[in-house]
Structure 1
Amino acid sequence: MVFRFVCYLVVVWLISASDESCPEVPAVENGIIVIEETEGQILGTCVCIKGYHLVGEKTFVCNASTEWNAPVPTCRPGHCPDPVLVNGEPSSLDPVSVSDKITFKCNEHYILKGSSWSQCLANHTWMPPLPVCKSRDCGPPGNPAHGYFEGKDFNSGSTITYHCEDRYHLVGTRDQQCIDGEWSSALPVCELIQEAPKPTPQTEFEKALFAFQENKELCKAIENFVQRLKENGLTMEELKYSLEIKKVELEAKMLS
């Protein structure tokens, strides 16, 4: 009891009275504050006694306007900070000592993300880090470029379906489900459908000319040739023009 009383009153100034231009620091219950001058600044440091943990900034500085840059911290019961779990609760809310372990449980409709337990270490920290409680429902999903989804329910277990605009096809998972606060698959993408190049008249003429190679009978070959021209909407004039181009190309190759 005597030690706690002394620690409650102690504020140690390690600078001369003539240098004291900052406001007096109030004593911290269950802690010690040391004021010293370092590198031209007046620095305050707070240390809590065993069985208490620091709440606030451990160090604070007196700035040029002769004011402390942060409020004086406090020392609260327990070696580690109080375990706070939003939308859940730890197994104990009592002050803890070094090596104490606690477990965590989330409220209904929430799922635990992280470790289900943690231990208070000698350096006043929890390890593993404190977990969080995340809603089992999902937020609105994203839309891929040139795509959209169908579905208005984003609750746990609900399903949405992705579609792409015209001239685009879907790459990825079309149907996705909300499972424990996350969508079951990554966002798909909509890729542009590459159109096949249209055949040139010259290519169609070459296909039509195959009729003469496929049939030994001249009349039958001519009949098939004319039929293929009609199927492709080609004329004899266009054939003549195509053959002239082919002739020029062959002559150019022979001269090169």
Structure 2
Amino acid sequence: MFLRVVCCVVVVWLVPASYESCPELPPVENSIFVAMKEEGQILGIYVCIEGYHLVGEKSFTCNASGEWNTTTPTCQLGHCPDPVLVNGEPSSLGPVNVSEKITFTCNENYILKGSNWSQCMDNHTWMPPLPICKSRDCGPPGNPAHGYFEGRDFNLGSNITYHCEEGYHLVGTRDQRCIDGEWSSELPFCEFIQGTPKPTPQTAIEKVLFAFQEDKELCKAIQTFMQRLKENGLTMEDLKYSLEIKKAELQARHSAMML
């Protein structure tokens, strides 16, 4: 038996050849290496010192040509991937050793979703999983079919009110508030009132075009326009035909006024 200690993971190998037939493995920093020869086989172990972990293969074999089948591992400081928290900050930015714990805080106007602490485990993972920092402001709310909302501020504490088109009534919460990045209630829907005559194609087209008057933001107005076009069962050809009729009516009215 022989013992070799170098200021070098646990690697175990069984080699079906004599120790002398294979080249000596290089020392690995921050580890302890122990090798034993038993019944024509070699048992070797690399053990990283406290605070370091193995990176590389755990087992080695020596082939008939006297070559090792893999590269030598390394012992690296820390045990888990560096924690990343967008719009926040972990208590430690450097390498974290096994069993150590860190805590998390979010920047102003962001709220922590998940655990406010995590521990570095033996398998190189964080447990509980790393949290996220979510904005306390809300995104634009959805529009129910045959409905719309009033309100242009989507920040924390802002309010919106939902309405339905003529012939529909609202089912759900009408007034909602932005609370920690979420609207206070689920999106309501607009239910058709039985017995109410459905809008004529011309009325539907007018409602579609009205989207550009409701919202000053062009992108939002275009989204509302396309949504209402679909909701009313209209196509761009229907819209084009209607506008051509309107144009012809205006031209005829203008000609009559000039006479």
What is the TM-score when the length of structure 1 is the normalising length? 0.50
Return the letter of the residue paired with 2:104. Answer: F
For the Cα contact (< 8 Å) 1:163–1:174, is it kept in 2?
A: yes
Residue 124, structure 1, aligned to residue 124, structure 2? yes
Once the two structures are TM-superposed, the CA of residue 54 in structure 1 deviates from its matched residue by 8.3
Return the letter of the residue paired with 2:140. Answer: P
Once the two structures are TM-superposed, the CA of residue 125 in structure 1 deviates from its matched residue by 0.7
Match in the other structure for 2:171? 171
Return the letter of the residue paired with 1:185. Answer: S
For the Cα contact (< 8 Å) 1:54–1:81, is it kept in 2?
A: no
Deviations 1:136-171 (A, max 9, x none): 101100000000001000000000000000100000
Distance 1:148 1:52, change over 3 A: farther
Once the two structures are TM-superposed, the CA of residue 3 in structure 1 deviates from its matched residue by 4.6
Alpha-carbon distance in 1 for matches of 2:179, 2:47: 45
Alpha-carbon distance in 2 for matches of 1:151, 1:89: 34
For the Cα contact (< 8 Å) 1:137–1:178, is it kept in 2?
A: yes
Alpha-carbon distance in 2 for matches of 1:173, 1:108: 30
Higher relative contact order (CA 8 A, sep 6+): 2
Once the two structures are TM-superposed, the CA of residue 92 in structure 1 deviates from its matched residue by 1.6
Figure out how many residues of one structure are paired with residues of the other and give that number: 153
Return the letter of the residue paired with 2:90. Answer: P
Alpha-carbon distance in 2 for matches of 1:176, 1:98: 46
Deviations 1:198-231 (A, max 9, x none): xxxxxxxxxxxxxxxxxxxxxxxxxxxxxxxxxx
Match in the other structure for 2:113? 113
Return the letter of the residue paired with 1:106. Answer: C
Alpha-carbon distance in 1 for matches of 2:99, 2:158: 43
For the Cα contact (< 8 Å) 1:52–1:80, is it kept in 2?
A: no
Quote the sequence identity (%): 76
Bigger CA radius of gyration: 1
SS of residue matched to 1:155: coil
Distance 1:105 1:195, change over 3 A: same
SS of residue matched to 1:81: coil
Alpha-carbon distance in 1 for matches of 2:137, 2:175: 17
Alpha-carbon distance in 2 for matches of 1:169, 1:48: 71
SS of residue matched to 1:112: strand
For the Cα contact (< 8 Å) 2:77–2:97, is it kept in 1?
A: no
Unaligned runs of at least 5 residues, structure 1 = 15-27, 32-46, 59-73, 197-256
Alpha-carbon distance in 2 for matches of 1:192, 1:129: 46
Match in the other structure for 2:185? 185
Match in the other structure for 2:67? none
Distance 1:162 1:96, change over 3 A: same
Distance 1:87 1:191, change over 3 A: same
Deviations 1:69-90 (A, max 9, x none): xxxxx98531111111111111
Once the two structures are TM-superposed, the CA of residue 94 in structure 1 deviates from its matched residue by 3.2
Return the letter of the residue paired with 2:109. Answer: H
For the Cα contact (< 8 Å) 1:111–1:134, is it kept in 2?
A: yes
Alpha-carbon distance in 1 for matches of 2:160, 2:101: 42
Return the letter of the residue paired with 1:117. Answer: W
Alpha-carbon distance in 2 for matches of 1:29, 1:86: 34
Distance 1:151 1:29, change over 3 A: farther
Once the two structures are TM-superposed, the CA of residue 2 in structure 1 deviates from its matched residue by 3.6
Match in the other structure for 2:84? 84
Residue 98, structure 1, aligned to residue 98, structure 2? yes
Unaligned runs of at least 5 residues, structure 2 = 16-27, 32-45, 58-73, 197-259
Once the two structures are TM-superposed, the CA of residue 122 in structure 1 deviates from its matched residue by 1.0
Alpha-carbon distance in 2 for matches of 1:133, 1:104: 9
